[in-house]
Structure 1
Amino acid sequence: MTAHNASSKYGQYTGGPDPLAPPVDLAEALEAVAEDVMSGYSPRRALQEFLHRGTRTNAGLDELAGRVQQRRRELLGRHRLDGTLQEVKKLLESAVLDERKQLARDAMMDDTDRDFRQMQLQNLPTSTSAAVNELASYDWQSSMARESYERIKDLLGREVLDQRFAGMKEALESATEEDRAAVSRMLGDLNALLEQHRLGEDSDADFQTFMERHGRFFPEDPQSVEELIDILARRAAAAQRLLQSMSPEQREELMQLSSQAFGSAELVAQLEQMHASLRVLRPGENWSGSENFEGQEGLGLGDGTGVIQDLAELDTLAEQLAQSHNGAHLDDVDLEALARQLGENAAVSARTLAEIERAMHDGGYLRRGADGELRLSPQAVRRLGKSLLRDAAKQLSGRQGSRDTRMSGAAGEQTGSSREWQFGDAEPWDVTRTITNAIRRTIAEGGNPSRGLQLAVGDIEVSETEARTQAAVALLVDVSFSMAAEGRWLPMKRTALALHQLVSTRFRGDSLALITFGRYAQSMDIGELTALPAQHEQGTNLHHGLLLAGRFFRSHPTMAHVLLIVTDGEPTAHLVAGGESLFSWPPAEETIQVTVSELDRLGRTGTQVTFFRLGDDPGLERFVQGMARRIGGRVVAPALEDLGGAVVGEYFRARFKANHDGGTGPVF
């Protein structure tokens, strides 16, 4: 038995998305998108902005597009298009020099013949193409000179073919007459196939027969005649743009030289026929463009056509990365082309962005509304609120002199008794009673608890706690023009989200109302407030907001009433008969009077009121300080970055006070 030593090689996975890669982390994307949405962007635009910026560790679309443009500039700045002409010129000079040396040392040659040949070489045209064509019938005396001249024809043939068929220059190096005849047969069959297709007379069998005969000339391995035409047309259009990018003199030189390709006029005619057919079959290709090359590195016809194709591919990538047309998705980005042009890391970055875009939609974070517009889903709002609540808790715990505040829920001290769990209960489980219930149920159902135990909802019991006061909390947020103009719009929304998350998850027995007040006031759910665009109407109608808060409190008569008001300006509007809003600046006396009257009414019912004063407006400071003294309320003037922690802290303070005072609700 023979032992074999097997060796393995490991490298980067290149078969598409890494199957072992962890799923993309949407936390950063969701936070950034939601932040922009709260600032006034639509969810669609917010997601686009995030994808263009990229993540902390992943290049965005803007960076990738910039690298595409840099690559384009590098190609144009590095190359020039006279590589074939320069190579032909060198071969011609070498042939003429070798011929002159041969004439000078050939003692057996007739002097008259020598003089004639020397004069013929001396008087060659200055144009390279004209000189090459004039020497087409010259009887070379030097074998080295003849070889150099034949290399010109061979080079031109390979370059002309390489213009139309990528890789042909290298494939036909040191080609035999048989190889050239095979190329000629391929061109003849190809032109016949293209003509059949143009007339609608070809079949799949015709294409298969063609590929069986000539497939080695097409490394792209087209699977249909349409794919074949696409490949050839893109290359032919690039070859055309290459010629149009040359100077008129260069273009004229090459046109004249082309007749010497392999010394075969038939080859040139076949290529021209193919070119004409492709223009008819693919008129949508760019046949008329040009580029401005400014470099020093000469390119041959084939390589130059390849660079022109690279430039076209870069232009297509730039358009794909721009994502500027309706219905654009990152799945449209050609990752293989991106890897070719910018490297595999760029393709990985684009693939990651596409996965984020897909996950934001498929993961339920963006939802299309009845009007067809994208919106943050409730799931996204909850996840964002959780993050903002953590931030608020950090702010709260970091405030000087603050005690440790636990967000464990609304349960009071345990009484020692337990009861069956009901939906919405936040009390801790009685684990012993719960497990006992599960064992009894399992035995009653004929099961064996020793083989495994499954809990049912009916098994769960929770520990009873002393009754604690529930709170009805009204958060009034100013949405007047100044809030957006002074950069307070986003912190206001972040604060509302954090408080909403706290109440809805940790204090589910409490009730929260979100009320905005600008020229008018309005009750909103958290999704509406999150998506609310900046208001451009002037007016701070606290009066209307207090009316809505009073209505909310009256619908919760047994709860402690907590009123939190976030504003950056004194009242400048109030409701009048008929429901119209009357705006006045400076504030009208009537506006102040009706607002104070409504605050007094709430204060008399035991509502705990806290004003959060934003900014340094003297009128606002006088108003809120006066009202706090009048109704026994509080005034907090937090920095914008501390607003969330301040509001959450006041919510806890109000709940603690309500429970400490005996848990009684307001009396009307």
Structure 2
Amino acid sequence: MSARFTYSAWDGTQTGFEFDADGAFDELTDELLYHGDVDAALRRMMQDGMTDRDGNQLQGLRELLEQLRQEREERLANSDLGGVYDEINDELNDIVDEERHAIDNALRDAQNSGDQRRAENAEAAAQDRNMHLDLMPDDLAGKIRELDSYNFESADAKQRYEQLVDKLKEQLMQQMVDQMSGAMQNMTPEDMARMKDMMAALNEMLEKHQRGEDPGFEEFMEEYGDFFPENPESVEELLEQMAQRMAAMQAMMNSMTPEQRAQLQELSDQLMGDMDLQWQMQQLSGNLQQMFPQMQWERSYDFEGQDPMGFAQAMQAMQDLGDMDQLENLLRNASSPSALAEADMDKVRNLMGDDAAKSLERLAELTKQLEAAGLVEQKEGRLELTPKGLRKIGANALRELFSNLSKEMAGQHELSQHGVGHERTYDSKEYEYGDPFQLDLNRTIRNALRRQAGEGATSTPIQLSPDDFEIERTEHLTRSSTVLMLDLSLSMPMRDNFLPAKKVAMALHHLISTQFPRDYLGIVGFSETARILTADQLPEVSWDFVYGTNMHHGFTLARQLLARESGNKQIIMITDGEPTAHITPDGYPFFNYPPARETVEATLREVVRCTKSHIRINTFGLGADGSLRAFIERMSQMNGGRAFFTTPENLGDYVLVDFLDGKRQQARAGRRSA
């Protein structure tokens, strides 16, 4: 059965136009033309982002880095690391207050009992307990040390204190574990014993690795792999993951005041009491700091807020800030979209939200999409345009220029009938964008039948696909030979003329190769000297970092190219400067500004040679001032060509319209001569 489709009006809520390779390539076209380098264009797009077909903005690295910076500043501005101790202090003070209240109640009950001896004993006990509480040190470790040996009057206060100590031990243990792995939660004594064994084995493996011996990584992971859910594939990867976690915890210590660090260390010593475990941790930390000095072990954060963080909150905040630093380092140093694939998208989503993660995922897939579409390919470690990519750049440039033409000017509108100047060659070709849509029905239907048979379909009706289209090949009765002279001097990018000029060059090449395939187009770039360019080189060509506008050399090369061609010959020159350089009789370039008399004379002599060879020179002057305008007009009078004084914004209009008008005139002249 044939597929059935239903249609409805677009209301802005429908989705389905994902950002694909074609859309990305359309966005890349200007960057590719300006930089002439696929990798550079992709890096620029990575930095600036892009817009998909739905008009949704895909965040670039600049925007993502700014968002990351704001996230970090917000956390630092709102939080207070001192809350780690405030929370514990407040709870200890509350326990002490409850104990004092219980002491007062016990003394009051004894005094009201009528038993003198009981009252005396209760008063002595109350004095002893209150003195013990009054003499407690101010630091947390000292308070806990004193309360450990204190004889509580209140059973509830004693229970609360024991629960607090257990909670602190669990948090400190978890801090140690978090420096090792993210796998263990709610550690039991058995887990702690096994972790000590794991750390001893880990330090031994690390020492073997440093000595260049076989560290026994596979055996270690087989026994202790459950500590490491990331499932590292080598000892280097395992150690790097651990170094990242320990560096984050070290950053928390570095962010504290000296007094806070001392309190935490003493508190840890007081509560943990496991010297072997702490020694193993210190040994591991020292080894990892030597192996990974780039982990910024001295890093610290300046918390300036008022919201106190609890112990667990502080450790999570340090982990998040460490993850932000790693992500920032990745984003700043990514040299290509594929490098972004190393980002942990779950962490990005947690730190920055779904939109940022989606943008990063799309940026990371950009290179693969372009390669899968056949638009770019890897060659010797760098990306280059494929023939398909070259054609698409030209098509994009041509489509943009035609879309900018006003309705009164020539447009890209093919007729269904053959026009004057074409004759059938009784041959056909596959349809390509830009071809006149003159279908060869026999071959088109035959292509569809062959395709459907290959797909296993034998029934009618025949379903046509664009890939089946084959058109009648025609040839022009009148052939044109054109050389495009493109100014590559430093003034072109300085005046923002380079991109429009190069876009016109790409569009003109695509127009001639697709709609006038028998015509010839040569390309000459000129600055201090001139050089011949091929169509394949055109997308990558850039301006020259030299001074000089050598029209003389450019006309010489263009004339030599056209001497080998037939038909109507013309040079199209796009420039924004006067002739300031020429080739001396000895073959060396000569430059002078303002233009030297010998440079102007050498250039005009070459114009005369072109004129004698029946080569018309049409010049497009960008931002022409008085002296440039005067030179172009003089050259046009000598040659009989036309002069156009235009701007970067409408350069394409002038060039394409002039070229197509010239083709129409040639066609009319060919019909009259026939």
Normalised to the residue count of structure 1, the TM-score between the two structures is 0.79
- Residue 380 of structure 1 corresponds to 389
- Residue 134 of structure 1 corresponds to 146
- Residue 268 of structure 2 corresponds to 258
Distance 1:525 1:482 in 2: 23
Out of 561, 568, 586, the residue aligned to residue 569 of structure 2 is: 561
- Residue 444 of structure 1 corresponds to none
Residue deviations 1:429-471 (CA, integer Å, cap 9, x gap): 57466589999x9xxxxxxx9989999x9x9894878x62011
Is 1:241 aligned to residue 248 of structure 2?
Answer: no
Is 1:475 aligned to residue 484 of structure 2?
Answer: yes
Q: What letter corresponds to residue 330 of structure 1 in structure 2?
A: L
Closer, same or farther in 2 for the Cα pair 1:143/1:566, shift >3 Å?
A: same
Distance 1:88 1:434 in 2: 86
- Residue 86 of structure 1 corresponds to 86
- Residue 347 of structure 2 corresponds to 337
Answer yes or no: is the 8 Å Cα contact 2:42–2:337 preserved in 1.
Answer: no
Distance 2:242 2:597 in 1: 82
State which drifts further: 112-121 or 320-329: 320-329
Answer yes or no: is the 8 Å Cα contact 1:419–1:461 preserved in 2.
Answer: no
- Structure 2 alignment gaps of length 5 or more: 1-14, 52-56, 111-117, 209-214, 451-457
- Residue 589 of structure 2 corresponds to 581
Is 1:419 aligned to residue 419 of structure 2?
Answer: no
Q: What letter corresponds to residue 402 of structure 1 in structure 2?
A: M
Answer yes or no: is the 8 Å Cα contact 1:562–1:607 preserved in 2.
Answer: yes
Out of 513, 533, 558, the residue aligned to residue 504 of structure 1 is: 513
Shift of 1:187: 4.5
- Residue 30 of structure 1 corresponds to 25
Closer, same or farther in 2 for the Cα pair 1:532/1:190, shift >3 Å?
A: closer
Is 1:541 aligned to residue 547 of structure 2?
Answer: no
- Residue 619 of structure 1 corresponds to 627
Residue deviations 1:40-70 (CA, integer Å, cap 9, x gap): 4643222111111111221111222222222
Answer yes or no: is the 8 Å Cα contact 2:38–2:384 preserved in 1.
Answer: yes
Normalised to the residue count of structure 2, the TM-score between the two structures is 0.79
Answer yes or no: is the 8 Å Cα contact 1:411–1:468 preserved in 2.
Answer: no
Is 1:652 aligned to residue 647 of structure 2?
Answer: no
Shift of 1:292: 2.5
Is 1:164 aligned to residue 176 of structure 2?
Answer: yes
RMSD (CA atoms): 4.2
- Structure 1 alignment gaps of length 5 or more: 1-19, 173-178, 442-448
Answer yes or no: is the 8 Å Cα contact 2:183–2:229 preserved in 1.
Answer: no
Answer yes or no: is the 8 Å Cα contact 1:153–1:260 preserved in 2.
Answer: no
Q: What letter corresponds to residue 45 of structure 1 in structure 2?
A: A
Shift of 1:382: 1.7
Is 1:55 aligned to residue 50 of structure 2?
Answer: yes
Residue deviations 1:259-303 (CA, integer Å, cap 9, x gap): 553xx63xx335414413532663445555433222223334343
Distance 1:664 1:563 in 2: 25
Out of 131, 151, 159, the residue aligned to residue 147 of structure 1 is: 159
Q: What letter corresponds to residue 599 of structure 1 in structure 2?
A: V
SS at match of 1:509: coil
Distance 2:601 2:228 in 1: 86
Residue deviations 1:237-263 (CA, integer Å, cap 9, x gap): 4434323322222222233333553xx
Closer, same or farther in 2 for the Cα pair 1:259/1:407, shift >3 Å?
A: same
Distance 1:139 1:590 in 2: 108
Closer, same or farther in 2 for the Cα pair 1:127/1:587, shift >3 Å?
A: closer
Map of 1:7-22 to 2, 5 A cutoff?
Answer: none
Distance 2:618 2:27 in 1: 31
Distance 2:233 2:570 in 1: 74
Shift of 1:140: 1.4
Q: What letter corresponds to residue 541 of structure 1 in structure 2?
A: N
SS at match of 1:329: helix
Answer yes or no: is the 8 Å Cα contact 1:480–1:519 preserved in 2.
Answer: yes
- Residue 647 of structure 2 corresponds to 639
Distance 1:491 1:236 in 2: 54
Distance 1:417 1:43 in 2: 40
Distance 1:250 1:118 in 2: 28
SS at match of 2:649: helix
State which drifts further: 249-258 or 357-366: 357-366
Answer yes or no: is the 8 Å Cα contact 1:610–1:650 preserved in 2.
Answer: no
SS at match of 1:637: strand
Closer, same or farther in 2 for the Cα pair 1:119/1:223, shift >3 Å?
A: same
Map of 1:190-269 to 2, 5 A cutoff?
Answer: 190-191=198-199, 193-194=201-202, 197=205, 220=229, 234-261=244-271, 265=273, 268-269=274-275
Distance 2:223 2:427 in 1: 79
Out of 39, 55, 61, the residue aligned to residue 44 of structure 1 is: 39
Closer, same or farther in 2 for the Cα pair 1:519/1:182, shift >3 Å?
A: closer
Q: What letter corresponds to residue 513 of structure 2 in structure 1?
A: S
Shift of 1:527: 3.6
Distance 2:513 2:193 in 1: 79
Out of 494, 497, 504, the residue aligned to residue 495 of structure 1 is: 504
Distance 2:423 2:538 in 1: 42
Q: What letter corresponds to residue 506 of structure 1 in structure 2?
A: Q
Distance 1:127 1:415 in 2: 98
Map of 1:165-180 to 2, 5 A cutoff?
Answer: 165-166=177-178
Out of 518, 523, 532, the residue aligned to residue 541 of structure 2 is: 532
SS at match of 1:610: strand
Q: What letter corresponds to residue 661 of structure 1 in structure 2?
A: A
Answer yes or no: is the 8 Å Cα contact 1:195–1:277 preserved in 2.
Answer: yes
Q: What letter corresponds to residue 34 of structure 2 in structure 1?
A: S
% identical aligned pairs:
26
Answer yes or no: is the 8 Å Cα contact 1:484–1:535 preserved in 2.
Answer: no
Map of 1:80-119 to 2, 5 A cutoff?
Answer: 80-106=80-106, 107=110, 108-109=118-119, 110=121, 111-119=123-131
Closer, same or farther in 2 for the Cα pair 1:278/1:410, shift >3 Å?
A: farther
Answer yes or no: is the 8 Å Cα contact 2:79–2:309 preserved in 1.
Answer: yes
Q: What letter corresponds to residue 642 of structure 2 in structure 1?
A: R
Residue deviations 1:404-430 (CA, integer Å, cap 9, x gap): 564679964499987344899978757
Distance 2:173 2:338 in 1: 38
Shift of 1:644: 1.1
Distance 1:552 1:432 in 2: 40
- Residue 132 of structure 2 corresponds to 120
Shift of 1:235: 4.4
Answer yes or no: is the 8 Å Cα contact 1:573–1:582 preserved in 2.
Answer: yes
